[in-house]
Structure 1
Amino acid sequence: MNQKILRVGHSPDPDDAFMFYGLAFDYVKIDNYKIEHVLEDIQSLNIRAMKGELEVTAISAHTFPYVADKYYVMRTGSSMGIGYGPLIVSRKYFSIAELKGKKVAHPGELTTATLLTKIYINDIQLHAYPFDEILSAIEKDEVDAGVIIHEGQITYQNLGFKKILDFGELWKEETGLPLPLGLDVVRKDLGHETAVKISSGLKTSIEYGYKNLQDAVTYALKFGRGLSFELGEKFIKMYVNELTIDMGDEGKKALDLLFQKAFEKGLIKYKIDFELV
């Protein structure tokens, strides 16, 4: 039987690479499908998802309301911060109040980090930068502070930056829930049954990574932008956790609340009702 091509978009980051390790090397297979990996930064994947281009893709949680007509949310593969998340950091400012009227770099309009910034902080000037150029922009005084994601969350202190706010801490204190940041979604036109099968395949891939931790982390660190094994493993375990294997009711509730807050602030146009596959 001819295999169908399944294009899977994910970012070239350690946590995503770890999740897809089993599928990338064919240790885990999805019946009747040949996986074709598409590696792009998350903002680019968000834009492609708006057009429904890829059958399966990672997206920012913020992007889902704009693609809910085209994609199911998979119950597996989400990135959720459990009391931690994107940070606002600076070198010369130490509180949110001090940032009033100041320039703050963010990692892209469709990222969840930027949505959280708009939900919680007023009266700042937001400027978009590639996520891996934000710390440099602060250093060069192009901006006064920055919203950082990915491995910058565990390396910023060594580079001389100070944390002003951790959105994951704030969210946990306010809601008691994990903070949804990234999702994996599957196109609805594949059919519900196939979507469930693909979601199950990704779950098996993540479990395979944990059973073969040394090899999976070593592979993932090819995308770690200089992270040591220890820091890489720490970062992966932060964002590939039990809720990544299955977000369950708690993860769904957290996503619902994020979308509700965004709607109430006028940051998304519609209330979102969705199911997990």
Structure 2
Amino acid sequence: MALSLAVSPCPNDTFVFHALAHGLVPGAPPVDLTFADVDVTNTAALDGAFDLVKVSYAALPWLLDDYELLPCGGALGRGCGPLVLTRDRTDLNGATVAVPGDRTTAYLLFRLWAADQRPARIEVVPFHQIMPGVADGRFDAGLVIHEARFTYPRYGLNALVDLGEWWERDTGLPIPLGAILAKRGTVDPAAATEWIRESLRHGWRDTAASQKFILANAQEMEPAVVRQHIELYVNEFTLDLGKDGLAAADALLGRAAAAGLTPAVPSFL
């Protein structure tokens, strides 16, 4: 029976899961792969739609009854945080802000950072519409992630804040962006952890093997941007969250619960 897996088409996910999705991991079951934006998987996971699924850390408080956090495969790191972009604003009071999803880690970080500001309206829009929308004045500001940190100057935009820098300065911890979850009672988490780690190791051993798959799903990203994306988001935390990765998840969700933004969850440590 095939294992249902849902990840984003972003280069870090396609790099990590290429071998698993293509039957190149010894002992792993066949995989039924679905590509979806993380805001979609955050919602689909509420219904237990997938055996393994990539979601935002911010969505975990609503998912941990049915899913278990795996210690690998996700996106954490330093210097890789979401950005708040504007044309020329120096604050967000009275602003209309475009965001890529209301249960994303990016939006949760934004809410923690912007606690003393008063945006007039938040609009959830598809990610690819955010930078053009800020550039042409439809939005006063936009919250962006992933490859946008490499491309936003092309739109004539400025970074009002790098939420990753803000987070790291305040906590000393990496920023927890995307998590891999295994469905309880359906997937053996220890086995799934080894499948994903071997898939990642396969990618590191033979970087050329996955290039066609990565580029085909990279939403017209230039090869140089794809390379930067993978180098930034596929790192030691992808192989093993470790103590710092788990502490980062605790800090994010602990602060969110204390601020009344999410339900409380038990510590991961």
TM-score by structure 2 length? 0.94
Query: Which residue of 17, 21, 26 corresponds with 1:20?
Result: 17
- Structure-to-structure mapping, 1:77-96, within 5 angstroms: 77-93=73-89, 95=90
Provide the C-alpha distance between the structure 2 equivalents of 1:183 and 1:269, rounded to a whole number of angstroms.
Answer: 17
Provide the C-alpha distance between the structure 2 equivalents of 1:162 and 1:62, rounded to a whole number of angstroms.
Answer: 26
Per the alignment, residue 51 of structure 1 pairs with 47
- Structure-to-structure mapping, 1:244-263, within 5 angstroms: 244-263=238-257
Per the alignment, residue 140 of structure 1 pairs with 136
Deviation string 1:71-107 (CA, Å, 9 cap, x unpaired) is: 11110011013133110111122x3xx2211111101
Query: Which residue of 161, 170, 173 corresponds with 1:174?
Result: 170
CA displacement at 1:178 relative to structure 2: 0.3
Counterpart secondary structure, 1:189? coil
- Structure-to-structure mapping, 1:1-277, within 5 angstroms: 4-31=1-28, 33-93=29-89, 95=90, 98-121=91-114, 122-124=117-119, 125-190=121-186, 194-274=188-268
Which residue type is aligned with residue 152 of structure 1? A
Provide the C-alpha distance between the structure 1 equivalents of 2:77 and 2:155, rounded to a whole number of angstroms.
Answer: 23
Q: Percent identity?
A: 29
Structure 2 portions without partners, runs of 5+: none
CA displacement at 1:230 relative to structure 2: 2.0
Provide the C-alpha distance between the structure 1 equivalents of 2:99 and 2:11, rounded to a whole number of angstroms.
Answer: 21
Provide the C-alpha distance between the structure 1 equivalents of 2:80 and 2:193, rounded to a whole number of angstroms.
Answer: 26
Counterpart secondary structure, 2:173? coil
> Cα RMSD between the aligned structures?
1.5
Contact 2:84 2:144 survives alignment (8 Å): yes
Contact 1:259 1:272 survives alignment (8 Å): no
CA displacement at 1:225 relative to structure 2: 2.4
Provide the C-alpha distance between the structure 1 equivalents of 2:217 and 2:259, rounded to a whole number of angstroms.
Answer: 36
Structure 1 portions without partners, runs of 5+: none
Which residue type is aligned with residue 206 of structure 1? L
Provide the C-alpha distance between the structure 1 equivalents of 2:95 and 2:88, rounded to a whole number of angstroms.
Answer: 12
Provide the C-alpha distance between the structure 2 equivalents of 1:152 and 1:29, rounded to a whole number of angstroms.
Answer: 36
